[in-house]
Amino acid sequence: MQAFVEIVDRGSLTAAGRALGKSLPTVVRTLAGLEEELGVRLLRRTTRRMSLTEEGGAYLERCRQILADVEEAELSLASGGREARGRLRVTAPVRFGEMHVAPAVTGFLARHPRVKLELLLLDRVVNLVEEGIDVAIRIAPLEDSSMVAARVGQVRRVVCASPELLRRVGTPRRPEELGALPCVRFLGTAPAPRWQLQESGRPLSVPIDGAFSCNQAGAALEACAAGQGFGLFLSYQVAPLVEAGRLRVVLREFEPPAVPVSVAYAQAGLLSARVRAFVDWTKESLRAVPELR
């Protein structure tokens, strides 16, 4: 089971072998033996890619739970259930993770030296069960009823521009004026060339145009701060540049509703000591971040 889970998580038999300290032929024989014993094919394998079969996906979920239960039982005997230790996999959005989650992780590891933690910074919604993730930091309403979400704050979607651009073209008073002004489009908040704002509680869709669009917040923010155009970002993303005087927030009264920030994990009944400790630590750390209040 452990070999099968490692193969899926690592994406290849070779990488799983390295993680397990086993040779490639040993891993191949282990997987073949498991499939033969179960009487089903767990993975579709070609020379270029590997994917789970339907039976493999169902078996993977059960394997994760069984292995977690076994590890938790062994750790509880070894440490009396008091000490957090073992492996953790955590995911967060890229820029938020760099700014706020990574510092929380280093603090947690300093306090719990027997935990090994893998932090995956990804700008996509991750399926925690399918991808073997213990905890996810989400900046969005949580729609999966199988998850538990502990809200730690909220962020706003703000329109901003550099002081130099505002001097050159003026400060817009209404969102509709943005259609005639240069804009930088960050694809994470605006996959289509329209910005979703609001007026007096009613949604307002504003068409925008500009010479530069990017799927990474950092590059889009720098272009905005360099005067390339107005930008729509999350408030935590622009906070350092606003504090430095490189960006100014405009059209505050037209901002859409704030977006919740949560620490999400599987149902509480399955929590291990290390997951519980990390969730508690992260909730406390993120609730202290000024940009999330």
Q: Which domain does 36 fall in, by range? A: 1-80
Residues 75 and 87 placed together within one structural domain of the fold: no
Residues 136 and 4 placed together within one structural domain of the fold: no
Structure tokens at 81: 């259930």
Which residues touch 171 (CB under 8 Å, ≥6 apart)? 250
Whichever domain contains 129, its CATH number is 3.40.190.10
Residues 173 and 248 placed together within one structural domain of the fold: yes
Supply the DSSP string of 106-149, one letter for each residue. Answer: HHHHHH-TTEEEEEEE-SS---TTTTT-SEEEEES----TTEEE
| Tally of domains within the chain | 3
- Is the model's pLDDT at 270 over the cut of 80? no
Q: Which residue has the tokens 């009613």?
A: 202
Residues 161 and 250 placed together within one structural domain of the fold: yes
**What secondary structure letter does DSSP report for 188?**
T
- Is the model's pLDDT at 229 over the cut of 80? yes
More confident residue, 5 or 143: 5
Confidence at 268, pLDDT banded by 50, 70, 90 = low
Q: Give 34-82 pLDDT, tens digit per residue.
A: 999 999 999 998 777 888 999 998 898 889 878 877 776 776 665 555 6
Whichever domain contains 42, its CATH number is 1.10.10.10
Residues 73 and 92 placed together within one structural domain of the fold: no
- Is the model's pLDDT at 83 over the cut of 90? no
Question: Last residue of a domain, which of 25, 46, 80?
Answer: 80
Residues 52 and 87 placed together within one structural domain of the fold: no
What average pLDDT does the chain have? 90
Alpha carbon 24 to its chain's center: 32
Residues 43 and 164 placed together within one structural domain of the fold: no
- Is the model's pLDDT at 84 over the cut of 90? no
Question: Last residue of a domain, which of 80, 106, 138?
Answer: 80
- Is the model's pLDDT at 211 over the cut of 90? yes
The pLDDT, as a whole number, for residue 267 is: 66
Residues 21 and 71 placed together within one structural domain of the fold: yes
Residue 176's alpha-carbon distances to 194, 196, 207, 227, in angstroms, are 11, 11, 8, 20
Whichever domain contains 184, its CATH number is 3.40.190.290
Question: Last residue of a domain, which of 64, 80, 96?
Answer: 80
